[in-house]
Amino acid sequence: MEVKNMERKTKLARLAAAWLAVCALCLPLLLGSCGDDEYEKPLTTQTPTALISPATLRAWMDAGLVNGEGFDRVIIVDVNTSANYNTGHIPGARFLDYTRMSQHRLEGPAVSSTEMVTGENMDVIIRELGITKNTTLVFTGSAYWQMSRAYYTFRYWGFPKNRLKVLDGINLTGANTWRALYAPVLPDTDYGTDAPPPAVATAYSVRDNGTLRNDLRISLSEMIDYAEGKVSNALAIDVRGATTSYAGTAGSTGSTFGASDQPVFEGHINGAKAMTNSDVYVTASIFKDPATIAGYFTPLGLDSTKTAYLYCKVGFLGPIVFFALDGILGWPAAFYDGSWTQWGQLSANASMGGTLAANSPWRTDTASRSELIVYNRDWNNDSTYDYAIELLSYDGSKCSGTLATSGAITYSPAGCDSDPALLGAPESLVSSGNQIEGDDMEYMKSGSGGSGGGGGSGGC
Protein backbone atom coordinates (compact mmCIF):
# COMPACT_ATOMS: atom_id res chain seq x y z
CA MET A 1 0.00 0.00 0.00
CA GLU A 2 2.80 2.39 0.86
CA VAL A 3 4.47 1.66 -2.49
CA LYS A 4 1.22 2.42 -4.33
CA ASN A 5 0.78 5.66 -2.39
CA MET A 6 4.34 6.65 -3.22
CA GLU A 7 3.78 5.89 -6.92
CA ARG A 8 0.53 7.90 -6.88
CA LYS A 9 2.28 10.88 -5.28
CA THR A 10 5.08 10.67 -7.83
CA LYS A 11 2.60 10.65 -10.72
CA LEU A 12 0.70 13.58 -9.26
CA ALA A 13 3.93 15.52 -8.82
CA ARG A 14 4.90 14.84 -12.42
CA LEU A 15 1.44 15.90 -13.66
CA ALA A 16 1.60 19.08 -11.59
CA ALA A 17 5.05 19.91 -12.94
CA ALA A 18 3.89 19.30 -16.51
CA TRP A 19 0.80 21.47 -15.98
CA LEU A 20 2.89 24.29 -14.56
CA ALA A 21 5.20 24.10 -17.55
CA VAL A 22 2.25 24.31 -19.96
CA CYS A 23 0.79 27.25 -18.06
CA ALA A 24 4.14 29.02 -18.10
CA LEU A 25 4.18 28.69 -21.87
CA CYS A 26 0.59 29.87 -22.20
CA LEU A 27 0.82 32.78 -19.76
CA PRO A 28 2.20 35.29 -22.32
CA LEU A 29 -0.61 34.34 -24.69
CA LEU A 30 -3.20 34.76 -21.98
CA LEU A 31 -1.81 38.12 -20.99
CA GLY A 32 -1.58 39.20 -24.60
CA SER A 33 -4.96 38.08 -25.86
CA CYS A 34 -7.41 38.07 -22.96
CA GLY A 35 -9.37 41.08 -21.80
CA ASP A 36 -11.04 43.96 -23.56
CA ASP A 37 -8.19 46.42 -23.13
CA GLU A 38 -5.37 44.36 -24.63
CA TYR A 39 -4.90 46.77 -27.53
CA GLU A 40 -4.05 49.50 -25.08
CA LYS A 41 -1.15 47.61 -23.47
CA PRO A 42 1.80 47.38 -25.86
CA LEU A 43 4.76 45.52 -24.41
CA THR A 44 7.82 46.70 -26.31
CA THR A 45 6.57 49.82 -28.10
CA GLN A 46 5.65 51.93 -25.10
CA THR A 47 7.06 55.45 -25.29
CA PRO A 48 6.66 58.54 -23.07
CA THR A 49 4.70 60.39 -25.78
CA ALA A 50 3.35 59.66 -29.25
CA LEU A 51 6.42 61.32 -30.77
CA ILE A 52 9.30 58.90 -31.36
CA SER A 53 12.87 59.53 -32.45
CA PRO A 54 14.52 57.98 -35.51
CA ALA A 55 16.70 55.97 -33.07
CA THR A 56 13.59 54.40 -31.54
CA LEU A 57 12.24 53.37 -34.93
CA ARG A 58 15.64 51.98 -35.91
CA ALA A 59 15.70 49.89 -32.71
CA TRP A 60 12.26 48.49 -33.54
CA MET A 61 13.51 47.65 -37.03
CA ASP A 62 16.58 45.87 -35.66
CA ALA A 63 14.34 43.91 -33.26
CA GLY A 64 12.24 42.66 -36.17
CA LEU A 65 9.06 44.46 -35.09
CA VAL A 66 8.49 46.32 -38.37
CA ASN A 67 6.16 44.20 -40.51
CA GLY A 68 6.84 41.39 -38.05
CA GLU A 69 4.56 38.56 -37.05
CA GLY A 70 4.90 38.81 -33.29
CA PHE A 71 2.62 40.29 -30.67
CA ASP A 72 4.00 43.83 -30.81
CA ARG A 73 4.19 44.30 -34.55
CA VAL A 74 4.91 47.73 -36.04
CA ILE A 75 3.68 49.18 -39.32
CA ILE A 76 5.26 52.34 -40.75
CA VAL A 77 2.58 54.33 -42.56
CA ASP A 78 3.90 56.83 -45.10
CA VAL A 79 1.06 59.35 -45.50
CA ASN A 80 1.97 60.97 -48.76
CA THR A 81 1.42 61.37 -52.46
CA SER A 82 2.16 58.35 -54.63
CA ALA A 83 4.85 60.33 -56.45
CA ASN A 84 6.75 61.10 -53.24
CA TYR A 85 6.37 57.55 -51.93
CA ASN A 86 7.55 55.96 -55.16
CA THR A 87 10.54 58.30 -55.32
CA GLY A 88 11.79 56.90 -52.03
CA HIS A 89 10.58 55.84 -48.59
CA ILE A 90 11.80 54.31 -45.35
CA PRO A 91 12.36 50.58 -45.94
CA GLY A 92 9.24 48.60 -45.13
CA ALA A 93 6.93 51.65 -45.00
CA ARG A 94 3.44 51.19 -46.40
CA PHE A 95 1.81 53.87 -48.52
CA LEU A 96 -1.36 55.72 -47.52
CA ASP A 97 -2.60 58.41 -49.89
CA TYR A 98 -3.21 61.49 -47.74
CA THR A 99 -6.37 62.36 -49.69
CA ARG A 100 -8.03 59.28 -48.17
CA MET A 101 -7.88 60.91 -44.75
CA SER A 102 -10.83 63.23 -45.52
CA GLN A 103 -13.93 63.27 -47.67
CA HIS A 104 -17.03 65.26 -48.57
CA ARG A 105 -19.85 64.71 -46.05
CA LEU A 106 -23.10 66.39 -45.11
CA GLU A 107 -23.15 68.38 -41.88
CA GLY A 108 -25.64 71.04 -40.92
CA PRO A 109 -27.36 72.41 -44.02
CA ALA A 110 -24.82 71.43 -46.67
CA VAL A 111 -21.97 69.21 -47.79
CA SER A 112 -18.49 70.27 -46.76
CA SER A 113 -15.09 69.11 -47.95
CA THR A 114 -12.28 67.51 -45.91
CA GLU A 115 -14.62 66.16 -43.25
CA MET A 116 -13.98 63.02 -41.18
CA VAL A 117 -13.58 59.73 -43.04
CA THR A 118 -16.47 57.27 -42.68
CA GLY A 119 -16.13 54.01 -40.78
CA GLU A 120 -16.56 52.01 -43.97
CA ASN A 121 -13.61 53.78 -45.58
CA MET A 122 -11.49 53.42 -42.45
CA ASP A 123 -12.05 49.68 -42.43
CA VAL A 124 -10.87 49.42 -46.03
CA ILE A 125 -7.69 51.29 -45.10
CA ILE A 126 -7.14 49.14 -41.99
CA ARG A 127 -7.29 45.95 -44.02
CA GLU A 128 -5.11 47.27 -46.82
CA LEU A 129 -2.40 48.15 -44.30
CA GLY A 130 -2.74 44.87 -42.42
CA ILE A 131 -3.58 46.43 -39.06
CA THR A 132 -4.49 44.06 -36.23
CA LYS A 133 -5.40 44.77 -32.63
CA ASN A 134 -1.76 44.40 -31.60
CA THR A 135 -0.30 46.73 -34.22
CA THR A 136 1.59 49.90 -33.39
CA LEU A 137 1.43 52.46 -36.20
CA VAL A 138 4.28 54.87 -36.93
CA PHE A 139 3.17 57.76 -39.14
CA THR A 140 5.62 59.51 -41.41
CA GLY A 141 5.45 61.39 -44.71
CA SER A 142 6.78 64.37 -46.59
CA ALA A 143 4.72 67.03 -44.77
CA TYR A 144 3.48 67.36 -41.21
CA TRP A 145 0.03 68.45 -42.40
CA GLN A 146 -0.48 65.14 -44.20
CA MET A 147 0.90 62.93 -41.47
CA SER A 148 -0.88 64.68 -38.59
CA ARG A 149 -4.26 64.42 -40.31
CA ALA A 150 -3.80 60.64 -40.28
CA TYR A 151 -2.88 60.67 -36.59
CA TYR A 152 -6.01 62.71 -35.81
CA THR A 153 -8.25 60.48 -37.93
CA PHE A 154 -7.09 57.26 -36.28
CA ARG A 155 -7.48 58.85 -32.84
CA TYR A 156 -11.08 59.82 -33.66
CA TRP A 157 -11.86 56.26 -34.70
CA GLY A 158 -10.80 54.89 -31.33
CA PHE A 159 -7.20 53.83 -31.80
CA PRO A 160 -5.47 54.35 -28.43
CA LYS A 161 -2.75 56.95 -28.29
CA ASN A 162 -0.08 54.51 -27.14
CA ARG A 163 -0.52 52.50 -30.35
CA LEU A 164 -0.09 55.59 -32.55
CA LYS A 165 3.35 57.13 -33.06
CA VAL A 166 4.73 59.96 -35.16
CA LEU A 167 8.31 59.84 -36.44
CA ASP A 168 10.04 63.06 -35.43
CA GLY A 169 11.40 64.71 -38.55
CA ILE A 170 9.28 62.42 -40.76
CA ASN A 171 10.85 62.04 -44.25
CA LEU A 172 12.53 65.43 -44.22
CA THR A 173 16.25 66.12 -44.63
CA GLY A 174 16.99 68.39 -41.67
CA ALA A 175 19.32 67.67 -38.77
CA ASN A 176 18.46 64.69 -36.56
CA THR A 177 15.91 63.29 -39.02
CA TRP A 178 15.81 59.69 -40.25
CA ARG A 179 17.40 60.62 -43.55
CA ALA A 180 20.24 62.47 -41.85
CA LEU A 181 20.97 59.66 -39.39
CA TYR A 182 20.24 56.36 -41.10
CA ALA A 183 19.53 56.54 -44.81
CA PRO A 184 23.23 56.47 -45.84
CA VAL A 185 23.98 53.32 -43.81
CA LEU A 186 20.99 51.22 -44.82
CA PRO A 187 21.30 48.81 -47.75
CA ASP A 188 19.50 51.35 -49.92
CA THR A 189 21.47 54.50 -50.65
CA ASP A 190 18.52 56.75 -49.88
CA TYR A 191 15.13 55.41 -48.88
CA GLY A 192 14.73 52.82 -51.58
CA THR A 193 11.73 52.06 -53.74
CA ASP A 194 11.21 48.42 -52.86
CA ALA A 195 7.66 47.48 -51.98
CA PRO A 196 7.02 46.31 -48.42
CA PRO A 197 6.06 42.65 -47.84
CA PRO A 198 2.40 41.73 -48.37
CA ALA A 199 0.09 43.03 -45.66
CA VAL A 200 -1.12 40.59 -43.01
CA ALA A 201 -4.63 39.35 -43.72
CA THR A 202 -6.90 40.92 -41.15
CA ALA A 203 -10.59 41.39 -40.46
CA TYR A 204 -9.96 44.16 -37.94
CA SER A 205 -12.48 47.00 -37.88
CA VAL A 206 -12.81 50.32 -36.11
CA ARG A 207 -15.74 48.66 -34.34
CA ASP A 208 -13.22 46.46 -32.54
CA ASN A 209 -11.76 49.56 -30.87
CA GLY A 210 -14.99 49.82 -28.93
CA THR A 211 -15.09 53.61 -28.65
CA LEU A 212 -15.62 56.49 -31.05
CA ARG A 213 -13.58 59.45 -29.80
CA ASN A 214 -16.05 62.05 -31.00
CA ASP A 215 -14.92 64.22 -28.10
CA LEU A 216 -11.84 64.93 -30.24
CA ARG A 217 -13.95 66.40 -33.05
CA ILE A 218 -15.85 69.70 -33.00
CA SER A 219 -18.98 69.64 -35.14
CA LEU A 220 -20.47 72.70 -36.80
CA SER A 221 -23.20 72.93 -34.16
CA GLU A 222 -20.66 72.67 -31.35
CA MET A 223 -18.53 75.43 -32.84
CA ILE A 224 -21.61 77.63 -33.18
CA ASP A 225 -22.32 77.03 -29.50
CA TYR A 226 -18.75 78.03 -28.66
CA ALA A 227 -18.97 81.22 -30.74
CA GLU A 228 -22.13 82.20 -28.88
CA GLY A 229 -20.47 81.75 -25.50
CA LYS A 230 -22.32 78.56 -24.56
CA VAL A 231 -19.18 76.45 -24.00
CA SER A 232 -17.10 76.84 -20.86
CA ASN A 233 -13.49 75.91 -20.21
CA ALA A 234 -12.51 75.86 -23.88
CA LEU A 235 -10.52 78.16 -26.16
CA ALA A 236 -10.79 78.32 -29.94
CA ILE A 237 -7.44 78.70 -31.71
CA ASP A 238 -7.17 79.78 -35.34
CA VAL A 239 -4.11 78.07 -36.86
CA ARG A 240 -4.51 79.17 -40.48
CA GLY A 241 -1.12 80.80 -40.03
CA ALA A 242 -1.46 84.01 -42.02
CA THR A 243 -2.23 87.10 -39.95
CA THR A 244 -4.38 88.33 -42.85
CA SER A 245 -6.75 85.36 -42.44
CA TYR A 246 -7.41 86.08 -38.78
CA ALA A 247 -7.71 89.80 -39.53
CA GLY A 248 -10.38 89.21 -42.17
CA THR A 249 -8.46 90.43 -45.20
CA ALA A 250 -10.42 89.82 -48.40
CA GLY A 251 -9.13 86.85 -50.35
CA SER A 252 -6.88 85.69 -47.51
CA THR A 253 -8.35 82.20 -47.22
CA GLY A 254 -7.69 81.52 -50.89
CA SER A 255 -9.14 78.67 -52.88
CA THR A 256 -11.60 76.37 -51.14
CA PHE A 257 -12.52 73.88 -53.86
CA GLY A 258 -11.60 75.20 -57.30
CA ALA A 259 -8.60 77.14 -58.55
CA SER A 260 -10.09 80.53 -57.70
CA ASP A 261 -13.23 79.96 -55.65
CA GLN A 262 -13.42 81.71 -52.29
CA PRO A 263 -15.59 81.41 -49.18
CA VAL A 264 -18.33 84.01 -48.95
CA PHE A 265 -16.61 85.94 -46.17
CA GLU A 266 -13.39 86.27 -44.18
CA GLY A 267 -12.78 86.92 -40.49
CA HIS A 268 -12.49 84.60 -37.52
CA ILE A 269 -14.75 82.76 -35.09
CA ASN A 270 -15.89 84.72 -32.05
CA GLY A 271 -13.51 84.34 -29.14
CA ALA A 272 -10.76 82.65 -31.14
CA LYS A 273 -7.07 83.38 -30.63
CA ALA A 274 -4.47 83.02 -33.39
CA MET A 275 -1.20 81.15 -33.69
CA THR A 276 0.93 79.71 -36.48
CA ASN A 277 0.98 75.95 -36.82
CA SER A 278 4.71 76.06 -37.60
CA ASP A 279 5.37 77.40 -34.10
CA VAL A 280 5.48 73.83 -32.80
CA TYR A 281 8.30 72.49 -35.01
CA VAL A 282 11.74 73.59 -36.15
CA THR A 283 11.88 74.77 -39.77
CA ALA A 284 9.52 72.03 -40.98
CA SER A 285 11.79 69.39 -39.47
CA ILE A 286 11.74 68.09 -35.89
CA PHE A 287 9.23 69.13 -33.23
CA LYS A 288 10.27 71.54 -30.53
CA ASP A 289 10.61 70.35 -26.95
CA PRO A 290 7.44 70.18 -24.81
CA ALA A 291 8.29 73.20 -22.66
CA THR A 292 8.82 75.39 -25.71
CA ILE A 293 5.59 74.16 -27.31
CA ALA A 294 3.63 74.84 -24.12
CA GLY A 295 5.11 78.34 -24.07
CA TYR A 296 3.29 79.24 -27.28
CA PHE A 297 -0.10 78.48 -25.73
CA THR A 298 0.34 80.23 -22.40
CA PRO A 299 0.00 83.78 -23.83
CA LEU A 300 -3.21 82.70 -25.56
CA GLY A 301 -4.75 81.68 -22.25
CA LEU A 302 -4.52 77.93 -22.80
CA ASP A 303 -3.17 75.40 -20.33
CA SER A 304 -3.71 71.74 -19.48
CA THR A 305 -7.03 72.46 -17.73
CA LYS A 306 -8.74 73.94 -20.80
CA THR A 307 -9.72 72.24 -24.07
CA ALA A 308 -8.33 73.72 -27.29
CA TYR A 309 -10.89 74.03 -30.10
CA LEU A 310 -8.64 74.11 -33.17
CA TYR A 311 -9.56 75.15 -36.70
CA CYS A 312 -7.71 76.08 -39.87
CA LYS A 313 -8.50 76.63 -43.56
CA VAL A 314 -9.49 73.26 -45.04
CA GLY A 315 -8.73 70.76 -42.29
CA PHE A 316 -5.03 69.87 -42.60
CA LEU A 317 -3.03 72.50 -40.69
CA GLY A 318 -5.09 72.18 -37.51
CA PRO A 319 -4.10 68.55 -36.89
CA ILE A 320 -0.43 69.59 -36.62
CA VAL A 321 -1.28 71.58 -33.51
CA PHE A 322 -3.72 68.87 -32.39
CA PHE A 323 -0.84 66.38 -32.41
CA ALA A 324 1.41 68.77 -30.48
CA LEU A 325 -1.25 69.12 -27.78
CA ASP A 326 -2.64 65.59 -27.72
CA GLY A 327 0.39 63.54 -28.68
CA ILE A 328 3.25 65.48 -27.09
CA LEU A 329 1.89 67.60 -24.23
CA GLY A 330 -1.07 65.39 -23.35
CA TRP A 331 -3.37 68.40 -23.10
CA PRO A 332 -7.06 68.20 -24.04
CA ALA A 333 -7.69 69.22 -27.65
CA ALA A 334 -10.36 68.83 -30.29
CA PHE A 335 -10.45 69.77 -33.96
CA TYR A 336 -13.17 71.46 -36.01
CA ASP A 337 -12.53 69.71 -39.32
CA GLY A 338 -15.08 71.81 -41.22
CA SER A 339 -12.79 74.79 -40.48
CA TRP A 340 -13.05 78.03 -42.44
CA THR A 341 -13.98 76.29 -45.70
CA GLN A 342 -17.27 75.43 -44.02
CA TRP A 343 -17.67 78.37 -41.62
CA GLY A 344 -16.96 81.05 -44.23
CA GLN A 345 -19.62 79.66 -46.58
CA LEU A 346 -22.57 79.83 -44.20
CA SER A 347 -23.84 83.28 -45.16
CA ALA A 348 -27.29 84.68 -45.79
CA ASN A 349 -26.02 87.81 -47.54
CA ALA A 350 -27.37 87.09 -51.01
CA SER A 351 -25.73 90.11 -52.59
CA MET A 352 -22.34 88.76 -51.53
CA GLY A 353 -22.91 85.18 -52.61
CA GLY A 354 -24.58 83.80 -49.52
CA THR A 355 -27.32 81.23 -50.13
CA LEU A 356 -28.75 80.55 -46.68
CA ALA A 357 -32.13 81.88 -45.63
CA ALA A 358 -31.96 85.05 -43.53
CA ASN A 359 -33.32 83.20 -40.50
CA SER A 360 -31.21 80.07 -40.96
CA PRO A 361 -29.90 78.68 -37.66
CA TRP A 362 -26.71 77.78 -39.53
CA ARG A 363 -25.81 81.30 -40.57
CA THR A 364 -22.35 82.27 -39.29
CA ASP A 365 -21.90 85.77 -40.78
CA THR A 366 -23.43 87.45 -37.75
CA ALA A 367 -21.86 89.50 -34.97
CA SER A 368 -22.78 86.83 -32.43
CA ARG A 369 -20.73 84.19 -34.25
CA SER A 370 -17.92 85.84 -36.25
CA GLU A 371 -15.59 88.80 -35.87
CA LEU A 372 -14.04 91.08 -38.51
CA ILE A 373 -16.47 89.95 -41.22
CA VAL A 374 -15.32 90.97 -44.70
CA TYR A 375 -17.13 89.70 -47.82
CA ASN A 376 -15.03 88.51 -50.75
CA ARG A 377 -17.40 89.57 -53.53
CA ASP A 378 -16.78 93.10 -54.79
CA TRP A 379 -15.06 94.00 -51.55
CA ASN A 380 -14.96 97.76 -50.96
CA ASN A 381 -16.37 98.26 -54.48
CA ASP A 382 -13.00 97.27 -55.89
CA SER A 383 -13.13 94.87 -58.84
CA THR A 384 -9.74 93.51 -57.80
CA TYR A 385 -11.54 91.71 -55.02
CA ASP A 386 -14.48 90.48 -57.10
CA TYR A 387 -13.70 86.85 -56.29
CA ALA A 388 -15.66 83.87 -57.56
CA ILE A 389 -17.72 82.56 -54.64
CA GLU A 390 -18.02 78.86 -53.92
CA LEU A 391 -21.70 77.91 -53.70
CA LEU A 392 -23.04 75.68 -50.98
CA SER A 393 -23.99 72.15 -52.00
CA TYR A 394 -27.14 70.89 -50.35
CA ASP A 395 -28.29 67.43 -49.38
CA GLY A 396 -29.07 65.58 -52.61
CA SER A 397 -31.52 63.28 -50.81
CA LYS A 398 -33.78 66.23 -50.04
CA CYS A 399 -33.53 67.98 -53.40
CA SER A 400 -33.41 66.93 -57.02
CA GLY A 401 -29.92 66.77 -58.45
CA THR A 402 -26.90 64.76 -57.38
CA LEU A 403 -23.83 65.13 -55.24
CA ALA A 404 -20.54 63.45 -56.00
CA THR A 405 -18.93 61.54 -53.13
CA SER A 406 -15.43 62.67 -54.01
CA GLY A 407 -13.68 65.03 -56.34
CA ALA A 408 -15.70 67.73 -58.06
CA ILE A 409 -19.20 68.28 -56.69
CA THR A 410 -22.30 68.51 -58.87
CA TYR A 411 -24.38 71.09 -57.09
CA SER A 412 -28.07 70.78 -56.45
CA PRO A 413 -30.43 73.29 -58.11
CA ALA A 414 -31.26 76.63 -56.57
CA GLY A 415 -34.62 75.31 -55.40
CA CYS A 416 -32.84 73.65 -52.51
CA ASP A 417 -32.05 77.04 -51.04
CA SER A 418 -35.58 77.39 -49.73
CA ASP A 419 -35.95 73.86 -48.39
CA PRO A 420 -37.42 74.40 -44.89
CA ALA A 421 -36.10 71.05 -43.70
CA LEU A 422 -32.59 72.38 -44.18
CA LEU A 423 -32.65 76.12 -43.81
CA GLY A 424 -35.80 77.16 -42.00
CA ALA A 425 -35.41 74.83 -39.05
CA PRO A 426 -35.85 76.07 -35.48
CA GLU A 427 -32.82 77.05 -33.45
CA SER A 428 -33.03 73.71 -31.59
CA LEU A 429 -31.71 72.03 -34.73
CA VAL A 430 -28.33 73.66 -34.15
CA SER A 431 -27.66 71.58 -31.06
CA SER A 432 -28.76 68.30 -32.66
CA GLY A 433 -27.66 68.69 -36.27
CA ASN A 434 -24.47 66.67 -35.97
CA GLN A 435 -25.00 64.23 -38.81
CA ILE A 436 -21.39 63.08 -39.17
CA GLU A 437 -20.85 61.91 -35.62
CA GLY A 438 -24.37 60.49 -35.50
CA ASP A 439 -23.66 58.38 -38.56
CA ASP A 440 -20.27 57.34 -37.22
CA MET A 441 -21.73 56.23 -33.89
CA GLU A 442 -24.31 54.16 -35.75
CA TYR A 443 -21.52 52.50 -37.71
CA MET A 444 -19.71 51.63 -34.48
CA LYS A 445 -22.89 49.94 -33.22
CA SER A 446 -23.60 48.03 -36.42
CA GLY A 447 -22.14 44.60 -37.10
CA SER A 448 -19.82 42.75 -34.80
CA GLY A 449 -16.44 43.98 -35.99
CA GLY A 450 -13.63 41.77 -37.15
CA SER A 451 -11.71 39.01 -35.51
CA GLY A 452 -8.68 41.16 -34.79
CA GLY A 453 -6.31 39.43 -37.16
CA GLY A 454 -2.86 37.99 -36.63
CA GLY A 455 -1.30 37.77 -33.20
CA GLY A 456 -4.51 38.57 -31.36
CA SER A 457 -5.96 35.17 -30.60
CA GLY A 458 -4.80 32.22 -28.60
CA GLY A 459 -4.67 31.16 -25.00
CA CYS A 460 -5.00 27.94 -23.01
Are residues 192 and 232 part of one domain? no
Is there a domain that residue 367 lies in? yes
Please say which residue of 153, 172, 202 terminates a domain. Answer: 202
pLDDT at 111: 77
202, 236, 271: which is the final residue of a domain? Answer: 202
Instruction: Return left, alpha or beta for 412; rule: phi > 0 is left, psi -120 to 50 is alpha, else beta.
Output: beta
Within this chain, do residues 321 and 225 fall inside the same structural domain, yes or no? Answer: yes
User: What gap in Å lies between CA 325 and CA 290, rounded to an integer?
Assistant: 9
- 168 lies in the same domain as 314: no
Q: Are residues 274 and 389 in the same domain?
A: yes
**Residue whose C-alpha is closest to residue 313's, from 170, 84, 100, 145:** 145
Residue 187: inside a domain? yes
pLDDT value, residue 404: 29
- 227 and 321: one domain? yes
pLDDT at 446: 86
Is the separation of the CB atoms in 227 and 270 below 8 Å? yes
At residue 208's C-alpha, the angle toward residues 202 and 214, to 5°, is 130
Please report whether residue 331 resides in a domain.
yes
* 8 A C-beta contact, residue 139 and residue 223: no
> What's the number of domains the chain is made of?
2
pLDDT at 182: 85
Residue where a domain stops, chosen among 151, 172, 202 = 202
Both 229 and 370 in one domain: the answer is: yes
Residue 291 sits in the same domain as residue 154: no
Give 10-residue mean pLDDT values along the chain (460 residues): 41 44 40 42 83 96 91 94 90 94 84 87 96 94 94 97 95 87 60 78 94 95 94 96 86 67 89 93 87 97 98 93 98 96 90 84 94 81 54 44 30 33 37 75 81 36
Does one domain contain both 183 and 296? no
Query: For residue 34, what pLDDT is reported?
Result: 37
**Are 250 and 386 in the same domain?**
yes
The pTM assigned to this predicted structure is 0.81
Supply the pLDDT for residue 455: 33
Structural domain for 90, as ranges: 39-202
Please indicate, yes or no, whether residues 246 and 330 belong to a single structural domain of this protein: yes
- Domain membership flag for residue 33: no
CATH code of the domain covering residue 318: 3.40.250.10
Residue 17 lies in a domain: no
Q: Does 197 lie in the same domain as 108?
A: yes
CA distance 246 to 300: 14
Give the whole-angstrom CA distance, residue 153 versus residue 147: 10
CA distance 77 to 139: 5
